[in-house]
């Protein structure tokens, strides 16, 4: 259950970083009339920046949690060993 929430948190924070990053990028390309107000889509530059920073922090924490929850499979993968359950489930023999 924790893995599911971690993955959801990763996906939502990634989307928030992407959207706020586009907002920050587009803010610099607005016409002079909108630039004078200091807002893009009615949202000030500082708000875009804060959303981007908070989403980045949440994403980093969720990524660390994801690594922690999947540490043993990751170590197994890099050591070259495939779990026997995967080979049985696919109906084949383990490679090697």
Look up tokens 């939502």; give the residue.
12
- What is the pLDDT, as a whole number, of residue 45? 78
Which residues have a Cβ under 8 Å from the Cβ of 41 and sit 6 or more positions away? Answer: 23
pTM above 0.75, yes or no: no
Q: From the first residue on, what is the mean pLDDT of each consecutive set of 10 residues in the chain (96 residues)?
A: 88 93 75 60 81 94 91 86 57 55
**What whole-number distance in Å separates Cα of residue 15 and Cα of residue 55?**
9
- What is the pLDDT, as a whole number, of residue 57? 95
Which residues does residue 40 pair with via DSSP β-bridges, in sequence order? 43
What are phi and psi for residue 33, nearest 5 degrees?
Answer: -65, -40
19-23, Cβ contacts within 8 angstroms, sequence gap of 24 or more: 20/48, 20/49, 20/51, 20/52, 20/55, 21/52, 23/48, 23/51
């Amino acid at each position: 259950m924790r893995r599911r929430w971690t993955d959801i948190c990763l996906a939502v924070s990634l989307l928030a970083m992407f959207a706020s990053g586009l907002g920050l990028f587009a803010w610099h390309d607005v016409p002079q009339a909108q630039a004078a107000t200091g807002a893009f889509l009615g949202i000030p530059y500082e708000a875009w920046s804060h959303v981007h920073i908070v989403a980045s922090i949440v994403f980093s924490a969720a990524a660390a949690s994801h690594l922690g929850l999947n540490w043993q499979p990751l170590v197994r993968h890099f050591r070259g060993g495939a779990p026997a359950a995967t080979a049985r489930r696919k109906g084949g023999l383990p490679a090697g």
